[in-house]
Structure 1
Amino acid sequence: MATDATELFTEMFRSQSQQAMGQITGLFGQFMPADGLAEAENAVQWAQIASRMHAIWTDYQVEQLGKAQASPPHYADPMKWIATGQAVVRQLPFASPDVQQRLWNGVSVLINGVLAQYGLGPNAGADAAAGAPATEPELPLRDRRFADPEWRRQPFFAVLHQVYLLLSAEIMGLAEATEGLEPARKAQLLFATRAIVDALSPANFPLTNPVALEAAQRSKGESLVRGFENLLDDMRKGQLTHTRPGAFVLGENIAVTPGKVVFETPLYQLIQYTPTTEKVLKTPLLIFPPWINRFYILDLNAKKSFVRWAVEQGVTVFMVSWKSADASMADLVWDDYIAAQVEAIDVVRARLDVPSVHTIGYCVAGTTLAATLAVLARKGEADKVASATFFTAQVDFEEAGDLKHFVDDPQIETLGKLSPEGYLDGRYLAATFNILRGNDLIWSYVEKNYLKGEDYPAFDLLHWNGDVTNLPAHWHRDYLRDLYRDNRLVVADSMQACGVPIDLHRIATPAYIQAGREDHIAPPESVWKLTHYLAGPWTFVLAGSGHIAGVVNPPSSNKYQYWVNDARSDSLDAFVEGAQEHPGSWWPHWIAWLRDLGAEEIAARGKRRPGGRGDKVIEDAPGRYVTLR
């Protein structure tokens, strides 16, 4: 019998794939005319499909031979990411006779029960007719990956996915029950086990996916050709495609809020957006997006844009657009990003002749904003910032979620080997985030676009998700080591930047802290911990949904909800217990909080309108940096 999860699943699929070939022949045969001429024409059609796929593959191989790297980078193949967890999963007790007997018994009972509904097997009635049941079979295990009726139409595929679901649950149960591991190692085991189990779903393989087989039959093989072309296109670019290429063009149908680039350095551009109201708040807003993504997540389109909405509320909005790293940025460290935030604050203050600015830091830029505030406080310059809003930002990484599975010493060391020119290719990070939600962001697309050859959707959020940025390798490794692994940021004076130690307890700036209830990248329990380190007033808001939808949730959408609690709470649980739920977007709650800090307005003229008379600007928004790869 099999001795680990991978072998167990592979052994099952090896024997059943042979049966699947017979199923394929039978499936196609049902739709083939009986006369010899039609059969011959059909054979010619499939021979042509096979020939086209062979030609496509040959062209690809010739193309790759002409390149320095003859094979696609490993991040293009999710299975190779999955394979790195196999050594961890081998800790599970598959060799135990009791475990193997329980699995065998469970599978046998399940198979007999499923087959009985098709009039097959020892449990079928004596007068039952073999084949599809007269009514929809009541299969005991359900999963949305197998919702298509094709998974229940034939007994083979019904048994196949039911056995898979049973074994998946059993294997995850073994992982959950594993004892004697450190909590971090146990969490890594669970993550790796889930990743392997998800990767080995029969929905991910052409011979064991009846929906893909039916699509091939219906399209006379054209779906196979399209899917193969999609696969090779992704192998060429080393990245999984989620949305239709060419569907979105920056400045035309995405990132279109009017504005100008008013300042730039080798690290970032500073965009100022054009006001749409006659008067604006005197204190402007400066947004720091994460440099691991493009800034236009906050400016996807007119309906979803936080930037456009804030401008419509009478706020003068500035946005930092970070440059995607290249070899010239190999020596950048955290000091450089903190110094850049301080510089941007000073540039905005000087440009508009105001004493202070409101700030927003999203994700890792929020972490950096906290360090920036601590640096300013240490230098006696805290009054440069009127307020700080944190979108899904962490400073205490003790409970930092699934990303912690990628920050042990061997993986940090590997990053150095993947960055020979001093910067980390953004596709590595994209693959990491995708694998955190493997079924949604990897395997569903493998099925739809590779196995079924479906067209890609035109979805702005997915376009943004695939628009990767490179990272300075030195800083990225330090970030994972010092913050995620060693959690040094919350230790007073353990780290320093701009020549001074960092102590978060010195931050007295009014703060607005937003967390996503279902955030798997910055879990709300982790985001909440920021409240433990602030010396000034803070407001915490728990938003419905996750890391992106929990932030990008305009009032016009009427989606999700948010929770607030005016009473001071010692924990997130206590906050939730006493919180009041409000339907819809939290954005209006935030703008009311911002206005409470200072409602003074001035006319939207002069340099409040970028690019006006006498105002020298660099270029139109969204600027050049957001287009650099």
Structure 2
Amino acid sequence: MRKDGNASPGLDAQWHAALGQLTGGLSPAALATAYMDWWLHLIGSPEKQAELMKRALDRPDADDQTDPRFADPAWRAYPFNVMAQGFLAAQDWWDAATTDVHGVDPKHANIVNFAARQWLDMLSPANYAATNPQVRDRTREERGMNLLRGARYWIEDFNRLLARKPRTSHRYAVGTDLAPTPGDVVMRNKLVELIRYRPTTAKVHPEPILIVPAWIMKFYILDLTAQRSLVAYLRDQGFEVFILSWKNPDASDAELSIQDYIDLGVRAAVQHIKQSGHRKLHAAGYCLGGTLLSIASAAMARDGDDCLASVSLLAAQVDFSEPGELGLFINESQVAFLEDIMATRGYLKADQMAGAFQLLRSNDLIWSRVVRHYLLGERTPDNPLLAWNADATRMPARMHTEYLRQLFLKNDLAKGRFKVDGKAVALSDIRPDIYCVATEQDHVSPWTSVYRLALLTDTDVTFVLTNGGHNGGILSEPGHKGRHFRCGHKSEGDGHVTAPAWFDRHAPQDGSWWPHWAEWLKRHSSAKVKIAAPDVTLDAAPGRYVLG
């Protein structure tokens, strides 16, 4: 028996958990099924085989200058130019071989294509000292000291891997450099702390802002530094700001469910804010926090609770029918495999989710770092985002299973089947106006998937598309160079516009989307009033849970 009183996982679960240690949590059965589907259809397609044979013989030159791995002028010289061209030709051939094979399940084809790209990315000549001219030149200049430093870095990182301690920043500390905005913990339960930030203006809008971050990350991504704090920016615009800080769950939290995250998280925070004297509030959710907020908002609308003045969703999906490449990791076989892994410890480890996200951008997040650290002998400088990224969280077994099965596999929320308090909720019930933000290069919540919110709701929706990725696009503070965004509005009753058509119709505007959002919030707020008496303080921000 386990300590929590539940029966110990069976032999199958224990075997799958052990196997998962070798595969990074990926299901071998899922990969094998996809491969067999592709291979059997390929060997039964002589026309496709002939096309691939012709492509292999023709070997057209690829544009290696568009690939950042080969952008350095040193790759133009022989023999490195031949290596780069050969690699890119092989990459193009495998891309053609794993796409447009008649009869293959599209998801299986995408998995095989993704797996082929992972192998090719690993075999790139840019990743090896003998075949990378930049490494060759650096080694000559430093007489091999770069390789010695790289070997020392590799040993350090390998020892951290064995000890299960990721590389962390020694320069940035939570509560001083990170999450620096002054505030107070005003509520705490077994799952969340609610932090209230101290106003800096003489008057504030009577409707405060409640921010719901994702439970798979520490909240301070939205209060990263004094210069890159969305929390501080909203506070300085005359809003009282609250944010949830989720507890980092352990084995004792294995049975926490999405219902618990709604009750102990969103609902508990809303209730506390209302009891503090606020009749209305703005609610904003980031990433999976936005998904959770959309569920809670639909439940509130169903039950006649009209306390929300507006709802803002930042890089958050509510329809998981087109989740992008992250969906390659989510199918019945994969979910069953993860369930067995979680059954042995009660939660999903943070590094398993982080590994999946890294594979989505393996060149940027894995192999370029291998070259920089171990071959060029350069450490990535400490920076706030690196420090936050290493400060990952775990997921309770039951909640994560519900998320994967009900939201990803069954898409119950978009189809009006997801239940809160035992009764289904519908996104079309949400009545407050919605401000929805997506990012152009988002590998976690693709913008075309986020955009489907406009199709599923029957209220006014302001949709904003900003450049950048899942984190960088949201952390788009005013003054950040190279930022732009597109903005459009859909009124209740307007006809639907497809994502490509929407993109073509809305020209980019220079600058950050933050001021645009702040003005939108002000239009949905009442006139400013004197600041209310301070709440009961349990601890100073950033609180206790963020340190767990």
Distance 1:236 1:291 in 2: 29
Confirm or deny: 8 A CA contact 1:303 1:556 kept in the other structure.
Answer: no
Confirm or deny: 8 A CA contact 1:278 1:604 kept in the other structure.
Answer: yes
* Aligned counterpart, 1:306: 230
Query: What SS class does the counterpart of residue 79 from structure 2 fall into?
Result: helix
RMSD across aligned positions (CA) = 3.0
Confirm or deny: 8 A CA contact 1:360 1:389 kept in the other structure.
Answer: yes
Confirm or deny: 8 A CA contact 2:52 2:96 kept in the other structure.
Answer: no
Equivalent in 473, 476, 479 of residue 400 of structure 2 = 476
C-alpha distance 144-507 of structure 1, shift in aligned 2 (>3 A): same
Q: How does 1:596-615 map to 2 (within 5 A)?
A: 596-607=523-534, 615=535
* Code of the aligned partner of 2:365: L
Equivalent in 258, 263, 268 of residue 343 of structure 1 = 268
* Aligned counterpart, 1:594: 521
Distance 1:480 1:563 in 2: 31
* Aligned counterpart, 1:507: 430
* Code of the aligned partner of 2:540: D
* Aligned counterpart, 1:560: 483
Residues 1:617 and 2:532 aligned together: no
* Code of the aligned partner of 2:515: P
- TM-superposed CA distance for 1:193, in Å, is 2.4
Q: Give a deviation string over 1:308-367, Cα, whole Å, max 9, x none.
A: 11111011001101111101110011101111211111111212x111211101111111
Residues 1:424 and 2:348 aligned together: yes
* Aligned counterpart, 1:385: 308
- TM-superposed CA distance for 1:414, in Å, is 1.7
Distance 1:606 1:586 in 2: 32
* Aligned counterpart, 1:517: 440
Equivalent in 83, 86, 100 of residue 160 of structure 1 = 83
Equivalent in 566, 570, 578 of residue 496 of structure 2 = 570
Equivalent in 444, 447, 450 of residue 371 of structure 2 = 447
C-alpha distance 387-566 of structure 1, shift in aligned 2 (>3 A): closer
* Code of the aligned partner of 1:105: L
Distance 2:226 2:322 in 1: 35
Residues 1:456 and 2:380 aligned together: yes
* Aligned counterpart, 1:270: 194
Distance 1:149 1:452 in 2: 17
Query: What SS class does the counterpart of residue 300 from structure 1 fall into?
Result: coil
Residues 1:370 and 2:294 aligned together: yes
Query: What SS class does the counterpart of residue 328 from structure 1 fall into?
Result: helix
Q: How does 1:112-131 map to 2 (within 5 A)?
A: none
C-alpha distance 457-526 of structure 1, shift in aligned 2 (>3 A): same
* Aligned counterpart, 1:546: 469
Confirm or deny: 8 A CA contact 2:286 2:316 kept in the other structure.
Answer: yes
* Aligned counterpart, 1:208: 131
Distance 1:446 1:355 in 2: 53
- TM-superposed CA distance for 1:285, in Å, is 0.5
Distance 1:102 1:478 in 2: 48
- TM-superposed CA distance for 1:603, in Å, is 1.7
* Aligned counterpart, 1:582: 509
C-alpha distance 314-161 of structure 1, shift in aligned 2 (>3 A): same
Distance 1:424 1:438 in 2: 22
Equivalent in 325, 329, 333 of residue 249 of structure 2 = 325
TM-score normalised to structure 1 length: 0.76
Q: Give a deviation string over 1:12-68, Cα, whole Å, max 9, x none.
A: xxxxxxxxxxxxxxxxxxxxxxxxxxxxxxxxxxxxxxxxxxxxxxxxxxxxxxxxx
C-alpha distance 555-140 of structure 1, shift in aligned 2 (>3 A): closer
Confirm or deny: 8 A CA contact 1:75 1:427 kept in the other structure.
Answer: no
C-alpha distance 569-253 of structure 1, shift in aligned 2 (>3 A): farther
Residues 1:398 and 2:282 aligned together: no
Q: Give a deviation string over 1:107-156, Cα, whole Å, max 9, x none.
A: 5x87xxxxxxxxxxxxxxxxxxxxxxxxxxxx963321022344344x33
Distance 2:20 2:528 in 1: 56
C-alpha distance 81-223 of structure 1, shift in aligned 2 (>3 A): farther
C-alpha distance 264-75 of structure 1, shift in aligned 2 (>3 A): farther
Distance 1:259 1:242 in 2: 29
- TM-superposed CA distance for 1:527, in Å, is 1.1
Query: What SS class does the counterpart of residue 319 from structure 1 fall into?
Result: strand
Confirm or deny: 8 A CA contact 1:510 1:537 kept in the other structure.
Answer: yes
* Code of the aligned partner of 2:432: T
Q: Unmatched 5+ residue regions in structure 2?
A: 1-16
Confirm or deny: 8 A CA contact 2:314 2:474 kept in the other structure.
Answer: yes
* Aligned counterpart, 1:415: 338
TM-score normalised to structure 2 length: 0.87
Distance 1:230 1:282 in 2: 53
* Aligned counterpart, 1:34: none
* Aligned counterpart, 2:9: none
Q: How does 1:166-181 map to 2 (within 5 A)?
A: 166-181=89-104
Distance 1:183 1:238 in 2: 35
Distance 1:70 1:346 in 2: 43
* Aligned counterpart, 1:3: none
Q: Unmatched 5+ residue regions in structure 1?
A: 1-68, 111-138, 608-614
Query: What SS class does the counterpart of residue 176 from structure 1 fall into?
Result: coil
Question: RCO higher in 1 or 2 (8 Å CA, sep ≥ 6)?
Answer: 2
- TM-superposed CA distance for 1:99, in Å, is 6.1
Query: What SS class does the counterpart of residue 479 from structure 2 fall into?
Result: helix
* Code of the aligned partner of 1:336: D
Q: Give a deviation string over 1:298-317, Cα, whole Å, max 9, x none.
A: 11112211111111101100
* Code of the aligned partner of 1:346: Q
Moved more, 196-205 or 270-279: 196-205
* Code of the aligned partner of 2:351: R
Distance 2:105 2:18 in 1: 41
C-alpha distance 83-200 of structure 1, shift in aligned 2 (>3 A): farther
- TM-superposed CA distance for 1:184, in Å, is 2.2
C-alpha distance 581-101 of structure 1, shift in aligned 2 (>3 A): closer
Moved more, 481-490 or 563-572: 563-572
* Aligned counterpart, 1:315: 239
Confirm or deny: 8 A CA contact 2:118 2:362 kept in the other structure.
Answer: yes
- TM-superposed CA distance for 1:484, in Å, is 1.0
* Code of the aligned partner of 2:544: R
* Code of the aligned partner of 2:252: S
Q: Give a deviation string over 1:512-553, Cα, whole Å, max 9, x none.
A: 111112322212221121122323322222222232222111
C-alpha distance 208-99 of structure 1, shift in aligned 2 (>3 A): farther
* Code of the aligned partner of 1:477: T
Confirm or deny: 8 A CA contact 1:286 1:319 kept in the other structure.
Answer: yes
Query: What SS class does the counterpart of residue 238 from structure 1 fall into?
Result: helix
- TM-superposed CA distance for 1:85, in Å, is 5.0
Distance 1:83 1:501 in 2: 34
Q: Which has the larger radius of gyration?
A: 1
Query: What SS class does the counterpart of residue 529 from structure 2 fall into?
Result: strand
C-alpha distance 84-74 of structure 1, shift in aligned 2 (>3 A): farther
Distance 1:570 1:194 in 2: 36
Confirm or deny: 8 A CA contact 1:242 1:463 kept in the other structure.
Answer: no
- TM-superposed CA distance for 1:588, in Å, is 1.4
Distance 1:101 1:490 in 2: 44
